Structure 1
Amino acid sequence: MASDPPAQAGPADSAIDSVSVLSEDSRRRMFAFIRRARRAVTRDEAAASVGISRKLAAFHLDKLVDAGLLRARYETPGGTRKVGRQPKVYEPTDAQITVSIPDRRHELLADLLLDAVLTERAGENARQAAMRAAQERGRQVGEAARRETRPGRLGPERGLTTCERLLDQYGYEPVRETPTRLRLRNCPFHPLAAKAPELVCGMNHAFLSGYLDGLDVNGVRAALAPEPGECCVRLGPGEGEAATDETPGGPSSSSAPGTGC
């Protein structure tokens, strides 16, 4: 029996790993020194900046490289060629570290709103443009995932399994309630969703609906089903299929947005 592939670390896990690397004092101070230098720095310079040996500095610098915070190459400082091996130098990468527990994706929401402003069409109001932009982005993400994974025909169960991977990366904390129903335990857009539930929950719903369309999942739809402290959207059976696995007393897809975020 084939086993599922091992789970890959998401952006939040990588950010936590990077922060843990910077918890060591000498390492953190060297990283700050290299960022301020605005040029490639040698091991000797990095070691001198915190008063440790060159060998110990090399250990810490390589940890920062492994974490994706620095990049290393061989170069002669000042560009002067000398006999022998060029020294190893270090400089910052473009990595930005943001850690939020639970995960928040305010940058995605801001990007969607920017798209809406820049592409607003004649006859659209701001809210309609925002919903359209969110649905189009979701469809693009779904189509890209389909091209990458080539999953073939996706019914409800396999479709939701595919959805889980992306939704986990986006911070939704998906939980499989039944084989054909997925609950999203975290709202990546909180607390903004609480301030403007009709707009933010509507965009979230449009984004996830577009994603299902782009991924071409059959028999599954995104429904507004807010629960306290969770995402306002649930993924489950489409019209005419709900009776097969409805949970008695479960959340209704006709609930108004905003009560869960």
Structure 2
Amino acid sequence: MSASGSAAPNALAALSNLDDPLRRRLYDFVAESDTPVSREQAAAAVDIGRTLAAYHLDKLADAELLTVSYQRPAGRGGPGAGRPAKLYTRATTEMSVSVPPRDYELLARLLVSSVEHDTSGVVRAAVNEAALDAGKRAAADAGGDLLAALRGCGYLPQIDADGRVDLRNCPFHRVARNHLEVVCGLNLRLVEGVIAGSGRSGARAELAPEPGRCCVVLHDAAPVTSDSRPA
């Protein structure tokens, strides 16, 4: 959701929940998780009590930053199984606030449309080169740390034991929905720039679209200089 006009106060109030350091740590933990998170898991992750974790998680859910579901523990059902556990996941709703109002998404759509209508290929080549350079700068700003650079770009990377990195978020999702080819190509070049800037010559990026994730995955990205979660 992009907030403007009368919607801005509501979005601003919701986003202000992340000003609280503890609440932000809980949100980051849930957002980085591949599966729904229980109150007990969240409490253990940030080293607080379950009751306090539940309070903050519910506040984040009230602000529509998290979504709630209920599930019984595996293997338990029927009478006496107890109440289903309350679980939390990152909301897919987008929120942004600009004061005074700005519409950067419109600008992005205009620029992407220009690429699509360029029959010469010159504009597309220039934009792809700019994306590559932006990735290299992101890696330099992160001190060559591949995952930190990807996090800084908004990709929410998660690495597995085989060195594959899944990008759990597309920073350009709203524009990508209607301009998939161009945006996926830009994502690929941007990630390739991050790889080049990090000096990880063995790593490679490829397009592998999956629902709910960025269209790019990385292979052979281990070893890394930080884990897959933000500090």
TM-score (norm 2): 0.44
- Structure with larger Rg: 1
TM-score (norm 1): 0.40
